Structure 1
Amino acid sequence: MSSRPCVAITPGEPAGIGPELVAGLGETFPEARLVAIADPALMENAGATVTPFEPSADPAPGHLEIMPVPLGAPVTPGVLDPANAAYVLETLRIAVDGCLDNRFQAMVTGPVHKGIINEAGQPFSGHTEFLAERTGAAMPVMMLAADTLRVALATTHLPLRAVPDAITDERLCRILRILHNDLARFYGLSRPHILVTGLNPHAGESGHLGHEEIEVITPALERLRGEGLHLSGPLPADTLFTPRHLADAAAVLAMYHDQGLPVLKHVGFGHAVNITLGLPIIRTSVDHGTALDLAGQGVAEPGSLQAAIREAIRMSRAGG
């Protein structure tokens, strides 16, 4: 049995750039076993040379192993087909279950197309929610990292009008405890300093621009400070992401998706990593979409996928 961590990789939407990015991994990560959960013909057409996955084997470093899952329909790069939605979800199920039974020490996900999965009649709001349901995790936490900046989200894939109602004392406390604990577990930070944004412009400006900061966010932060968490906030989001505030911060908790992630992606698009905390498994992902317009042309940049794999390997060794 190999002593190298075994990392499952789901290439995502088969008509997107995921398969060719995974196929191009080659000998990039000799320190780990990389296992693509995918249709073998799809991966070979994308340029991969694959070895069948045997859990008890110890293959030579640099091989891309494969656990076969058949496509629902032939693939044309750049052309979505709802007949392959079930295939995409099946690759995720296999990877998750393999992590739960310790065949894999981590999983890395390529980009999926939520629209085509839902069009096929499979309700799907995103990887984060899917993984939480599959693993039985009560409160997954979505965090993206680029260089030294880490941004977690209090809410993920919600319409903007639904966000205020979703930000509750219970939700904030649970998310901040998970963020605190996983920063300690995976990053070696014994008392991580977490910056917390307000919801409203200027963090509500003492109630003149909203009351969520006064009624919900501040009381939650005060309770958690009493438990020993090192928290600053609620802070105005438009000035929080500046060197003075970020200098000693381990992470930022933003209240909603497009409050925190545009800054993160401006800093690190192409090499940022999406990390799901609060799960019983390790999962990282790319920070980009399916890029259907680039699929099959051999021009897609692999930086984010490579960063996600590096982070999965590091996390598996740090706290897996």
Structure 2
Amino acid sequence: MATTKPTIAITMGDPSGVGPEIIVKSLNDEKIYENCSPFVIGDLKILKRALEVTNINLELNSISNPEEGKYQAGTIDILDLNLVSEDLPWGQVSSEAGNAAFRYLEKAIGFANEQKIQGICTAPLNKEALHKAGHIYPGHTEILAELTGTKDFAMMLSAPGLRVIHVTTHIGLMDAINKINPERQYTVIKLAHDTLKKAGIQNPRIAVCGINPHAGENGLFGNGEEEEKIVPAIEKAQAEGIDVQGPLPADTLFFRAKRGDFDIVVAQYHDQGHGPIKVLGLEAGVNITVGLPTIRTSVDHGTAFDIAGKNIADELSLKEAIRMAIELAPDQLS
């Protein structure tokens, strides 16, 4: 059991997006400081601008390492990397902002590798801006995996009443089906089981989606993908005592999971898993990268350039992401 509050690094994400706004709105909540020691990695000038936009009055305390943080309600501790210009426009794709988003995350990972923090919570980045800056990654998850040297990882999404973990994510559907194999399937089932056990669920109930309609319906649909790519992994996990069922038809499985029949669903590809979570509400969804040496959570929405700088963005998803980081971080503490 943890005896101290976890230190959570909150990365600003793309500074042209809604990240700065939702960060200051979230850290305006005194309750967050009761359960963790949060600090922001980003640009001080952008955070000041976000305070002006949101009409929030908080002190900004510039730090150079996590040990210097005040971690007091009413103050935001900010590790200023000073990477973008003061007149960086809201809501526009730029290499300047894309590079900054990458560098914020890189800095957080450095602190995690040095065990100076117990979790990372990320505001959204923009993939086009990231690529313009020369950082060719599909998203946060792949950056985190490479910079931590992690081979086996997966994206988990959490919303009220539903958790989903993905076998494949940011690749085309045909490529996804080709990449699904029993080894990857088993890895994701095991990651789901181990992650939920760490979160306090002693015997997680796991359900695995089929690839084809009706999970193939005994060979009626598809070309035997379920039997070839999914069943061997389920049988291996079951032999180890893991409570896992499937492959099951995706069109009814998410309803059953939301009803409470299962603790987590294994989705085979991006839209199969993301759709049901986002129907439950973008504002309440949390993205969790599992398998990393540190906890990482994120909002389950994008940079929302169309509303950036307008004081419209809802901070609920970020507050949920911080809460989830706190919930999962204690195992990281000595």
Instruction: Report if TM-score (shorter chain) is over 0.5.
Output: yes
* Distance change >3 Å, CA 137–CA 189, structure 1 → 2: same
TM-score normalised to structure 2 length? 0.91
Partner of 1:140: 153
Partner of 1:51: 61
Partner of 1:66: 78
Correspondences of 1:170-181 after superposition (within 5 Å): 170-181=183-194
Q: Is the 8 A contact 1:8 1:104 kept in 2?
A: yes
Cα shift at 1:173: 1.0
Q: Is the 8 A contact 2:257 2:265 kept in 1?
A: no
Tell me the distance in 1 between the aligned counterparts of 2:100 and 2:10: 14
Cα shift at 1:223: 1.4
- Give the 3-state SS of the residue equivalent to 1:304 in structure 2: helix
Partner of 2:116: 103
* Structure 1 residue 199 corresponds to structure 2 residue 200: no
Tell me the distance in 2 between the aligned counterparts of 1:245 and 1:33: 32
* Distance change >3 Å, CA 68–CA 284, structure 1 → 2: same
CA deviation profile, 1:1-23 (whole Å, cap 9, x unmatched): x9432110111111110011112
Corresponding letter in the other structure for 2:70:
P
Correspondences of 1:210-229 after superposition (within 5 Å): 210=222, 211-229=224-242
- Give the 3-state SS of the residue equivalent to 1:15 in structure 2: coil
- Give the 3-state SS of the residue equivalent to 2:9 in structure 1: strand
Question: Unaligned regions of 5+ residues in structure 1, if any?
Answer: none
- Percent identity over the alignment is 38
Tell me the distance in 1 between the aligned counterparts of 2:142 and 2:294: 14
Tell me the distance in 1 between the aligned counterparts of 2:128 and 2:166: 22
Tell me the distance in 1 between the aligned counterparts of 2:305 and 2:61: 27
* Structure 1 residue 209 corresponds to structure 2 residue 217: no
CA deviation profile, 1:181-217 (whole Å, cap 9, x unmatched): 11101x2122211010001111112112121101121
* Structure 1 residue 33 corresponds to structure 2 residue 37: yes
Corresponding letter in the other structure for 1:26:
N
* Structure 1 residue 239 corresponds to structure 2 residue 252: yes
CA deviation profile, 1:14-48 (whole Å, cap 9, x unmatched): 11100111122224312222111011111111116
Q: Is the 8 A contact 2:162 2:258 kept in 1?
A: no
- Give the 3-state SS of the residue equivalent to 1:45 in structure 2: helix
Give the number of equivalent residue pairs.
318
Over the aligned positions, Cα root-mean-square deviation in angstroms equals 1.7
Cα shift at 1:268: 3.2
Tell me the distance in 1 between the aligned counterparts of 2:257 and 2:249: 14
Corresponding letter in the other structure for 2:126:
H
Partner of 2:54: none
* Structure 1 residue 23 corresponds to structure 2 residue 27: no
Cα shift at 1:60: 5.2
Q: Which moved more, 1:210-219 or 1:235-244?
A: 235-244
Q: Is the 8 A contact 1:33 1:64 kept in 2?
A: no
Partner of 2:13: 12
Corresponding letter in the other structure for 1:49:
E
Corresponding letter in the other structure for 1:122:
H
Cα shift at 1:121: 2.4
Corresponding letter in the other structure for 1:168:
N
Tell me the distance in 2 between the aligned counterparts of 1:122 and 1:145: 27
Corresponding letter in the other structure for 1:9:
I
Q: Is the 8 A contact 1:129 1:140 kept in 2?
A: no
* Distance change >3 Å, CA 104–CA 116, structure 1 → 2: same
- Give the 3-state SS of the residue equivalent to 1:270 in structure 2: helix
Q: Is the 8 A contact 1:93 1:134 kept in 2?
A: yes
Cα shift at 1:264: 1.0
* Distance change >3 Å, CA 85–CA 101, structure 1 → 2: same
CA deviation profile, 1:84-129 (whole Å, cap 9, x unmatched): 3221111000011111212111010011110121123221211111
Partner of 1:168: 181
Partner of 1:313: 326
Cα shift at 1:318: 4.9
Corresponding letter in the other structure for 1:30:
Y
* Distance change >3 Å, CA 243–CA 224, structure 1 → 2: closer
* Distance change >3 Å, CA 58–CA 161, structure 1 → 2: closer
- Give the 3-state SS of the residue equivalent to 2:233 in structure 1: helix
Correspondence for 2:94 among 53, 59, 81: 81
- Give the 3-state SS of the residue equivalent to 1:242 in structure 2: helix
* Structure 1 residue 291 corresponds to structure 2 residue 304: yes
- Give the 3-state SS of the residue equivalent to 2:13 in structure 1: coil
Cα shift at 1:288: 0.5
- Give the 3-state SS of the residue equivalent to 1:91 in structure 2: helix
- Give the 3-state SS of the residue equivalent to 2:45 in structure 1: helix
Tell me the distance in 1 between the aligned counterparts of 2:313 and 2:258: 35
